[in-house]
Amino acid sequence: MDLVPEQIIRRRDLHDQLSGQSQGGISTPADHPIILLFTGRRLKRQQMTRLKKVE
């Protein structure tokens, strides 16, 4: 899965592709060298999230 900054994606789809913890604000997918941080409001009721790149 290619993650693109500012892309809007359903959080469920993100977890389906990368696994990791699906609840809470931090997710650490075991098979990928990334940490997902979820902050701020979710977009609408479909639990969408906007991707940001943090270096």
Q: What ranges do the domains of the chain cover? A: 8-50
At 54, is the pLDDT very low, low, confident or very high (cuts 50, 70, 90)? low
pLDDT higher than threshold 60 for residue 44:
no
Each residue of 5-21: pLDDT tens digit? 788 878 788 878 877 77
How many Cα atoms occupy the beta-carbon half-sphere of 51 within 13 Å?
A: 17
Pair 4, 14: CB distance under 8 Å: no
Pair 50, 36: CB distance under 8 Å: no
